[in-house]
Amino acid sequence: MNIKTAATSSHSVGRQLMLIDGRRVASSSGREIEVLDPATGEIIAAAPEASAADIDLAVAAASRAFRQGPWKDFTAAARARILWRAAELLEKNAEMLTRLEALNSGMLLSLAGNMVAYAAETLRYYAGYATKIEGKTVNLSGDQRNIHAYTLKSPIGVCGFIVPWNAPITLTCLKIAPALAAGCTCVVKPAEETPLTALKLAELLSEAGLPDGVVNVVTGYGDSAGAALARHGGVRKLAFTGSTEVGKLIVQAATDNLKKVTLELGGKSPTIVFDDADMDRAIPGAAAAIFTNSGQICFAGSRLYVQRGSFDRVVTSMAALAKAMKIGSPFHPTTQIGPLISAKQLERVTDLIASGLSDGAELIVGGRTVGDAGYFVEPTILANPAPGSRVVREEIFGPVLSAIPFDDVDEVMQMANDSEYGLAATVWTRDINKAHRTAQRFESGCVWINCAFVNDPAMPGGGYKQSGWGREGGKEGLDAYLETKKVFALLT
């Protein structure tokens, strides 16, 4: 690859190296991956194209660090101090990380800044949990009066993490923070499109005092490096965020050694707006739920159900908001819609829009690509799509909204839950009883009432149905990296 072509971009980053066992290394084959700026389509960096051999090296390094290195002797308080220091370093380097995240992913600069801040808060949250890992004593249910019984918690071992491209630094920290708090070691495989902040994060973790080999970052393609990590016999726990299709392949690969798996997969999240909603909040809230990060969010509210009496008002108002959104560079302060991640994703999104129109949906606004450079598509609203059409059933991962009217609660709940996904849902209503009853009926791992995209590291996140296995965040996120051992002691 001629990396000099990146010189045409004012944001050129240059060649990158992986981190294995504390050393910066190229891939064993010497091959590289072009890293693009999605706003321009230009090459901004080159990252090593790791193979299974490189995954072997990284897993071996993580295994040595877990079993032989100094990490196994670190106290919980020492682990906590490293995570806390890492959070401070993220905040100290927030401007650099924010710009790098925006450049690599196409995320708006303001949103990238929020993501870096959330990543730091996640590290700090699990720093607090490192010293609060505990077992319990148990009163046995049988007649063994002279047995003292208790449980112990221990780190699960080497963990593999496969991270997507839509929120790289946040989702990397959401995985490594509980693993490190528990005492595990890690191999991180960032998305091939967005490796830059994961590599920088590894540097900051080393600066925070993390020993060599505890966190290794290996860049490469999902079907080679990612697949090798998923099936590796030395990995005891795997966490993956991405599509449901790939998640199923991860599960199959994990059967080789029955490694534990956490999956946060696709979504087709419903947003319900009742006639009694506060429309001044609901309309911009529903727009934010689908157009933030150009719809490239797993829990984006891509299905909008509006009670019939308010349907025209809501759709018309949202269309006006969509039409007024400024599309362009993530670095421009007035930009509201940035690029999609790649030409491949642009093709998928436009194909799904075309399929919705061919199935009879009405195009209210948008639907077209924008500009000659980069991967931009207009914020799009399709009204009254056919219930079985692809735009209603499939995750689009773009700024495309399907708007559908409904008459009563039972009808809309049936439609909202009629999906293979169950990641998130939103309800807008002034009736607090209706709000909470609706929240109980959603078949999803997250529900927002009269708000959208609120999140916190203390809250567990995950999906129902084909939106995933397990939870990340909160105490549940820590438990995923701990084994439980029961101990019986005879008292004489």
Assess whether 187 and 255 both reside in one domain.
yes
% of the chain residues with pLDDT over 70: 98
What's 169's domain CATH number? 3.40.605.10
Assess whether 194 and 323 both reside in one domain.
no
Which amino acid would we find at residue 139?
A: N
Q: Is residue 157 part of a domain?
A: yes
Q: Is residue 472 part of a domain?
A: yes
Assess whether 225 and 288 both reside in one domain.
no
CA dist., res. 188 & res. 160, Å (int): 6
Which ranges of 325-431 does DSSP label H, i.e. alpha helix?
A: 343-358, 390-393, 409-417
Predicted confidence (pLDDT) per residue in 59-102, tens digit: 999 999 999 989 999 999 999 999 999 999 999 999 999 999 99
Domain that residue 38 falls in: 3-265+468-486
Residue 323 confidence class, pLDDT cut points 50, 70, 90? very high
Torsional sign, CA 241, 242, 243, 249: negative
CA dist., res. 212 & res. 21, Å (int): 5
Active-site positions read 264, 298
Q: Is residue 165 part of a domain?
A: yes
Q: Is residue 108 part of a domain?
A: yes
Instruction: Give the SS3 label for residue 32.
Output: strand
Q: Is residue 164 part of a domain?
A: yes
CA terminus-to-terminus distance, the chain: 72
CA dist., res. 206 & res. 195, Å (int): 17
Residue 31 gets which letter from DSSP?
-
Assess whether 204 and 349 both reside in one domain.
no
Assess whether 261 and 410 both reside in one domain.
no
Assess whether 278 and 296 both reside in one domain.
yes
Q: Which of 297, 289, 292 minimizes the C-alpha distance to 272? A: 289
The whole-angstrom distance between residue 344's C-alpha and the CA centroid of its chain comes to: 19
CA dist., res. 333 & res. 330, Å (int): 8
Instruction: Assess whether pLDDT exceeds 90 at residue 421.
Output: yes
Predicted confidence (pLDDT) per residue in 209-235, tens digit: 999 999 999 999 999 999 999 999 999
pLDDT, average across residues 388-402: 97
What's 297's domain CATH number? 3.40.309.10
Assess whether 331 and 242 both reside in one domain.
no
Q: Is residue 491 part of a domain?
A: no
Assess whether 461 and 473 both reside in one domain.
no
Instruction: Assess whether pLDDT exceeds 50 at residue 2.
Output: no
pLDDT at site 380: 98
Assess whether 213 and 352 both reside in one domain.
no
pLDDT at site 8: 35
Assess whether 109 and 258 both reside in one domain.
yes
Residue 474 confidence class, pLDDT cut points 50, 70, 90? very high
pLDDT, average across residues 443-454: 97
pLDDT, average across residues 367-378: 96
Domain total of the chain: 2
Torsional sign, CA 319, 454, 173, 332: positive
Assess whether 299 and 334 both reside in one domain.
yes
Instruction: Assess whether pLDDT exceeds 80 at residue 6.
Output: no
